[in-house]
Copies of this chain bind each other. A is one copy, B any other.
Amino acid sequence: MSKPSRRSRGSITVQDVAREAGVSAMTVSRVVNGGTNVREATREAVLAAIAKLNYSPNSAARSLAAGEATQIGLLYSNPSAAYLSQFLIGALAAARRAGCHLVLEACEGERPEEQAEATRGFVQTHVQGVILPPPLSESGPVRAELEAAGIPWVSVAMGLPPEGSLNVRIDDFAAAAAMTRHLIDMGHRHIGFIRGNPNQTSSAERYRGFCAAIEEAGLELAAMPVEQGFFTFRSGIVASEAMLDLPKPPTAIFASNDDMAAAAVGVAHRRGLHVPQDLSVVGFDDTALATTMWPELTTVRQPIAAMAEAALTMLLDELRAPVRTDHAEQVLAHQLIVRESCAPPPKA
């Protein structure tokens, strides 16, 4: 017997499967991927051999041979940690299936130069494509830098994506409208709205959704208190205080994200208002925060992990496409999550 090889990992390869099934390695490969032009009997034999030997393809060899994109960038700034972890889970799952690596890069700064800088650091590491979760999906400097380097990117969760961009999102407008309708259906007629950070188009879309539902119900939009927030907990405190200081405070507050909703609940408690008996509060995003507060928050759930997966898949399709596809958009379904922070308004 010849000594096998100096550095054999002893793992099962296509060759082993091919021998077992009595076919060639190429046929095994064909069965494993897609499997066009393989006779049914052959396929079954191969599948049986795979099962018997417990074969799993070597992803390194696969990437090498196929010459596929292997480094995908993910530029994150500081969305809520809960958002990021869900996002990473989805992206990782898709990346592993595709056999590519995720390259993370943090971009903490707000300033344009900082964002451009982080992006350049990225370009130099030879990533073939970039995924941009919010709020960076809307950052001008980042996109300009990628454009200049000729690197394709996918924006995630933009409210209103520009024409010709690759993006994955939910329908912020419809979700916000549905939430507003839920409040109206409960009997609220005086609803405060805390807007999101204006640097994201989803803020505007959510506000639009709110307005549309109000008018659709025949209520007077101008009578609704609206405060500007910035998606941060602190901005939520300021906005809610302003709202509750009004001569006629609202009976419900719709905050554009969970952090600000949590702030509203905190402010209400501090003023001796009970939630939801005295004041209903609802949020948006369904982050972990929504269930680590009391009462638990009624909110809108985005399928974050699924959005990340869709983004990565879209990006890989783009990279592997022989010709540049001009534009792709995917809108995933959101979900209204009803918990305990919302009740009919107190009797006047």
Cβ-defined contact, A292 with B262, below 8 A: yes
Cβ-defined contact, B85 with A81, below 8 A: yes
In the assembled complex, A237 has its CB within 8 A of some CB on chain B: yes
Residue of B nearest to A54 (CB): B124
Cβ-defined contact, B86 with A88, below 8 A: no
Residue of B nearest to A88 (CB): B88
Q: Which of these binds chain B: A22-30, A34-42, A58-66?
A: A58-66
In the assembled complex, A9 has its CB within 8 A of some CB on chain B: yes
Residue from B9, B81, B85, B99 within 8 A of A67 (CB atoms): B9
Docked complex Cα distance between A326 and B151 (Å): 46
Q: Which of these binds chain B: A101-109, A134-142, A340-348?
A: A101-109
In the assembled complex, A293 has its CB within 8 A of some CB on chain B: yes
The residues in A between 270 and 328 inclusive whose CB is less than 8 angstroms from any CB of B are: 270, 272, 287-289, 291-294
Known: A61-B64, A269-B269. A56 touches B233 (CB 8 A): no
Cβ-defined contact, B96 with A92, below 8 A: no
**A287 partner residues in chain B, CB cutoff 8 A:** 81
Cβ-defined contact, A92 with B86, below 8 A: no
The residues in A between 58 and 90 inclusive whose CB is less than 8 angstroms from any CB of B are: 58-61, 63-64, 67, 70-71, 80-82, 84-86, 88-89
In the assembled complex, A205 has its CB within 8 A of some CB on chain B: no
In the assembled complex, A126 has its CB within 8 A of some CB on chain B: yes
**A292 partner residues in chain B, CB cutoff 8 A:** 80, 233, 259, 262, 289
Query: For the complex formed by this chain, how many copies does it contain in all?
Result: 2
Majority DSSP secondary structure for residues of A touching B: helix
In the assembled complex, A125 has its CB within 8 A of some CB on chain B: yes
Known: A81-B82, A263-B294, A294-B233. A89 touches B60 (CB 8 A): no
State how many residues of chain A have any CB contact under 8 Å with chain B. 51
Cβ-defined contact, A291 with B89, below 8 A: no
In the assembled complex, A266 has its CB within 8 A of some CB on chain B: yes
In the assembled complex, A3 has its CB within 8 A of some CB on chain B: no
Docked complex Cα distance between A288 and B262 (Å): 13
In the assembled complex, A174 has its CB within 8 A of some CB on chain B: no
Residue of B nearest to A63 (CB): B60
Cβ-defined contact, A262 with B293, below 8 A: yes
Known: A81-B287, A82-B81, A233-B292. A64 touches B56 (CB 8 A): no
In the assembled complex, A224 has its CB within 8 A of some CB on chain B: no
Q: Give A49 Cβ to nearest chain B Cβ, in Å.
A: 17
**A11 partner residues in chain B, CB cutoff 8 A:** 126
A11, A89, A237: residue with the most chain B Cβ atoms closer than 10 Å: A89
Q: Would you list 27 pairs from A and B whose C-beta atoms are within 8 A, ordered by A residue?
A: A9-B67, A11-B126, A56-B126, A58-B64, A59-B60, A60-B63, A61-B64, A80-B288, A81-B86, A81-B287, A81-B288, A84-B85, A84-B89, A89-B104, A92-B92, A92-B102, A95-B101, A96-B102, A101-B101, A233-B292, A237-B294, A259-B292, A270-B294, A272-B272, A288-B289, A289-B289, A289-B292
Known: A96-B102, A266-B293. 6 other contacts (CB 8 A): A9-B67, A60-B61, A80-B292, A233-B294, A262-B293, A270-B294
Q: Which 3 A-B pairs have the closest CB atoms?
A: A85-B85, A60-B63, A81-B82
